[in-house]
Structure 1
Amino acid sequence: MQEKIDLRSVNVTRYITPLREGGSLPAIADADDGFKYVVKFKGAGHGTKALIAELIGGAIAKLLGLKIPELVFTNLDEAFGRTEADEEIQDLLKSSKGLNLGLHFLSGAINFDPAVTTVAPQLASEIVWLDAFLTNIDRTFRNTNMLIWNREVWLIDHGASLYFHHSWDNWEKTAKTNFPFIKDHVLLPQAGLLEETNLKFQKILNPDVLKTVVDLIPEEWITWEGSNLSPEEIKLVYFNFLTIRLAHSEIFVKHAQDARKTLI
């Protein structure tokens, strides 16, 4: 049964603390629905492209049945953050007014440690497949981007996915390539069911499903500098990239299988 994609919108009411990881400066914040969120700001790092990658990656993970904290659109009022003492954070908040992205804060979650937790071949294969499909460079031993919460593996941080969008050149060619960084994936040694996973996921991610994912992208996130494309044309590029990559999934699956053989 296909899971419906439906993102709520919340208003950020209080900035609690930054999570100083990398250059994106996400933060834990309260929202007007009474919950805490890890907020990713469009004024940081790679801007709205990182939010688009986070949104698409998270939505696809959810549709595939993987555990991911609830994604919500988070609104920042223009006056929000004026009382923040840290100038770097104040600048970040000022440049992030409007629509941002949040992930439900999993209180009590701990970072995934591959030395402590063994992931079953089916789940490992599903996560490796997802990251090869999304070209996610950021699920390595150094930075697993997974949490353990309620004794289950939860995926976080897909902002480094879809790196083709940092340069629109040859995106069609990129869609049909393998994913060389998969050799560094923290779960690759356990991913012994990639072929079976590929067949399973191809049935779930049909073009209609991928279109509903791409249609989630807010228009205000896709009016960046350096592009003459309209928001509709940019969305079409994302849609075509995903559908072409899915149609040629045997390329990145075979490469991942070959990379795995060198590890076991």
Structure 2
Amino acid sequence: MSLPIVTATRYVLPLREGGSLPGVVEGNDLGTYVLKFHGAGQGPKALVAEIVVGELFRRLGLRVPELKLCELDPAIGKSEPDEEIQELLVRSAGLNLAVDFLPGSFGFDGSSGVPDQQTQARILWLDAFVANVDRSWRNPNLLVWHKDLWLIDHGAALYFHHSWMSAERFTGLAYDENDHIFGRAAEAVPAIDAGLAAEITPELLTEVLALIPDEWIEAGDRERYFGHLTARLADRSAWLPGGAR
């Protein structure tokens, strides 16, 4: 199994909300996507985190915009008048990550699309599991689309891979639920912990990790991700929101 592949046919506009400067593009399948570039500041590891976390969350019942791989011709960048964007497009020639664009969506501010406590607890547990530090009220990375809540922007998760901290250290890495947008649901997390952990089987992790393109990782990295995640899953006492410390 692999992610679908599209080819970018037109660069539409930059999205300047984030530091990585993603852009909106049109694809040869007539779709519109938010394109995240392997040549951006965090490099392909941010795209790896997007795939692993996004696809894991999707398989566990949360809404994440569809992810595809996207081929980018450097010629598209040469016609871009903004020098910074042109440089990024040229530097990112080849395979990038395309996130389905949700037209008319808006950022979650707590006034609409609020999920029930069970869903909030599920999101909080999963963010703690993958060490996602980017789901605060300051930057919730949640969209409301057709009255449903959608989770986006997971490139800051799995930050152990930037220096490949040991699996043992990652296992014991605490998570501060007080900064999480759904931190108030921490009291409901212990009740769902065992059931949610049981859903993350070795087979599921293997399936999700297989979606990472070979171009974005080194030999043996899939096994390293698997080892880190299974170790963190096996010993949840240090990071479980609402659990005993």
Q: Which residue of 1 aligns with 2:206?
A: 211
For 2:168 and 2:31, the matched residues in 1 are separated by 40
For 1:134, give the aligned amino acid. V
Are the equivalent residues in 2 in contact too, given 1:15–1:30 (CA < 8 A)?
A: yes
| Counterpart position of 2:133 | 137
Q: Shift of the alpha carbon at 1:146?
A: 0.2
Q: In the alignment, is residue 245 of structure 1 matched against residue 232 of structure 2?
A: yes
Could you tell me which of 177, 181, 187 is aligned with 2:182? Answer: 187
Q: CA offsets per residue over residues 178-205 of structure 1, 9 Å max, x none?
A: 223x320011113442123222222211
**1:112 alignment partner AA:** F
Q: TM-score, normalised by structure 2?
A: 0.94
Tell me the CA shift for residue 171 of structure 1.
3.6
Q: Distance in 2 between matches of 1:22 and 1:246?
A: 30
Letter of the structure 1 residue corresponding to residue 228 of structure 2: F
CA contact (8 A) 1:122 1:192 kept: no
Out of 67, 71, 80, the position equivalent to 1:71 is: 67
After the TM superposition, which residues 1-264 of structure 1 pair with which residues of structure 2 at under 5 Å, given as runs? 6-180=2-176, 182-222=177-217, 231-253=218-240, 256-257=241-242
Q: Is the contact made by 1:57 and 1:134 (CA closer than 8 Å) also made in structure 2?
A: yes
**Following the alignment from structure 2 to structure 1, what is the Cα–Cα distance between the partners of residues 106 and 165?**
39
Structure 2: distance between partners of 1:128 and 1:236: 26
One-letter amino acid of the counterpart of residue 197, structure 1: I
Using a 3 Å threshold, how does the CA distance of structure 1 residues 127 and 67 change in structure 2: closer, same or farther? same
Deviations 1:18-49 (A, max 9, x none): 11023100111100111100111011120101
> Do the aligned residues in 2 keep the contact of 1:27 with 1:38 (CA within 8 Å)?
yes
- Paired with 1:247 and 1:171, the residues of 2 have a C-alpha distance of 12
Aligned length: 244
TM-score, scaled relative to structure 1? 0.88
Structure 1 runs (4+) greater than 4 angstroms displaced = none
- What is the rounded CA distance, in whole Å, between the counterparts of 1:208 and 1:190 in structure 2? 29
Cα deviation digits, residues 213-263 of structure 1 (max 9, x gap): 1121111112xxxxxxxx33122111101111111124311xx2169xxxx
> Quick one: which amino acid aligns to residue 183 of structure 1?
N
For the structure 1 residues 109 and 191, does the alpha-carbon distance in structure 2 shift closer, same or farther, using more than 3 Å as the test? Answer: farther
Q: Distance in 2 between matches of 1:118 and 1:59?
A: 22
Q: In structure 2, what is the Cα distance between the partners aligned to 1:161 and 1:139?
A: 10
C-alpha distance in 2 between matches for 1:117 and 1:234: 37
CA distance in 1, matches of 2:85, 2:119: 37
Structure 1 pair 118/148, CA: closer, same or farther in 2 (3 Å)?
same
CA contact (8 A) 2:190 2:243 kept: no
Between 43-52 and 185-194, report the one with greater CA deviation.
185-194
Q: What amino acid is aligned across from residue 107 of structure 1 in structure 2? A: P
In structure 2, distance between residues paired with 1:175 and 1:93 = 37
Question: Could you tell which deviates more after superposition, 50-59 or 5-14?
Answer: 5-14
Consecutive unaligned residues of structure 1, counting only runs of 5 or more, are: 223-230, 260-264
Q: AA paired with 1:190?
A: A
Encode CA deviations 1:117-143: one digit per residue, 9 max, x unaligned.
533111100110111011001000100
Which one-letter code corresponds to 1:16 in the other structure?
V
| Structure 2 contact 22–36 (Cα < 8 Å) conserved | yes
Distance, in Å, in 2 between the alignment partners of 1:233 and 1:158 is 22
Distance 2:2 2:115 in 1: 29
Q: Report the Cα distance in structure 2 between the residues aligned to 1:127 and 1:211, rounded to whole angstroms.
A: 21
RMSD: 1.6
TM-fit CA distance, 1:116: 4.7
